[in-house]
Amino acid sequence: MPDTVNQAGPAYGIRERIGFWLRNDATRLLFPSVCLACGEPGVDGLDLCADCLAALPWQPPSCIRCALPLRIPTGDDTCAACMLDPPPLAATRAACLYDAPLDRLLPRFKFHGDLAAGRLLSQLMARAFSGVPRPDALVPVPLHRARLRRRGYDQALELARPLAGALDIALRPDLLVRQRHTQPQSTLDAATRRENLVDAFVVPGTEPLPAHIALVDDVMTTGATLHAAAEALLDAGAARVDAWVCGRAL
Ligand SMILES: [Zn+2]
Ligand SMILES: [Zn+2]
């Protein structure tokens, strides 16, 4: 996959859209699906072969609040840490653990413009979340404008758009804005991550928010970004905010 998407700007112009389509959707009309992890023929309408599909690290029984796997499934679905210090997220759903092949597919999607990998990851999320309580709206965790310009596309929005379509949920990227250009979270420790995010998100509108919102993001690591985004929505009047992520890093 050429890396030209990252240099394309401004984001989401007609030329970028046609470029995405030619590199991604158009090739699907001509070629059968191929496993993005190993190159074998895809199965089940996915760009994954039977073996890689069977080996996916689907999320095991986990804490409802933070999506960390429960070591001893006791019937109680909240971990001790979340009981003591409840996070702002009412529920966190993860499709998979952030493990192979997600640890290769997600960076390909996020940093190298591989939208076919993004489409596959969104399909996995739709399968994982088809049975969970539906929110009133999906809100992708926004990128700051400057990072969007550099990257050329917003990975959370690209996951959320097909997911909203597949599950018939309203997609509302307009409800939340990233107003501060924060340092990449991956370069910081946990305490600095939280500090980095103070006032990073703002709800720009004045209309009442949907009561139940699910934030969509690619990976949850410490949860600091999702917590900051959830707090902004709760402060602005949302009654409940969940997180829906593709991969949960341990
Ligand atoms: Zn495969
Ligand atoms: Zn927990």
- Pairing verdict, β 212-220 and 137-140: parallel
- Residue 37 Cα to ligand 1 midpoint, Å, equals 5
Ligand 1: centre distance to CA 159 (Å): 21
Question: How close is the Cα of 48 to the center of ligand 2, in Å?
Answer: 31
CA 21 to ligand 1 centroid distance, Å? 24
Count Cβ atoms within 10 A of the Cβ of residue 207 and give its class: 0-12 exposed, 13-18 middle, 19 or more buried: exposed
Residue 167 alpha carbon to ligand 1 centre in Å: 26
Per-residue pLDDT, 2 = 37
Nearest bound ligand to the CA of residue 243: 2
Q: Each residue of 52-110: pLDDT tens digit?
A: 999 999 999 999 999 999 877 666 789 989 999 999 999 999 999 999 999 999 999 99
Q: How far is the CA of 69 from the centre of ligand 2 (A)?
A: 8
- Segment among 4-13, 28-37, 240-249 with least mean pLDDT: 4-13
At residue 13, does pLDDT exceed 80?
Answer: no
Residues 185-241 have pLDDT tens digits of: 666 677 776 677 778 899 998 999 999 999 999 999 999 999 999 999 999 999 999
Question: What does the pLDDT average to over 138-156?
Answer: 88
Tell me how far the alpha carbon of residue 35 lies from the centroid of ligand 1, in angstroms: 5
- Centre of ligand 2 to C-alpha 186, Å, is 21
pLDDT at position 22:
62
For residue 130, give the DSSP letter: T
Ligand 2 center to 60 CA (angstroms): 13
Distance in Å, CA 232 to ligand 2 centroid: 21
pLDDT digits (tens, 9 = 90+) for 158-188: 999 999 999 999 999 999 999 876 666 666 6
* Model confidence at 31: pLDDT above 70: no
Residue 33: predicted pLDDT: 85
Q: What is the chain's mean pLDDT, rounded?
A: 86
CB burial class (10 A; 0-12, 13-18, 19+) of residue 171?
Answer: middle
What per-residue confidence (pLDDT) applies to 192?
75
* Band (3; pLDDT cuts 50, 70, 90): very low
Rounded to the nearest whole angstrom, what is the distance from the C-alpha of residue 96 to the centroid of ligand 2?
A: 16
Quickly count: other Cβ atoms within 10 Å of residue 68's Cβ. Answer: 18
pLDDT at residue 183 in the model: 66
C-alpha dihedral, 186 to 191 to 197 to 198, nearest 10°: -170
Ligand nearest to the CA of 56: 1
Cα(71) to ligand 2 centroid in Å equals 11
- Cβ atoms of 1 and 114 within 8 Å: the answer is yes
Which pLDDT belongs to residue 199?
80
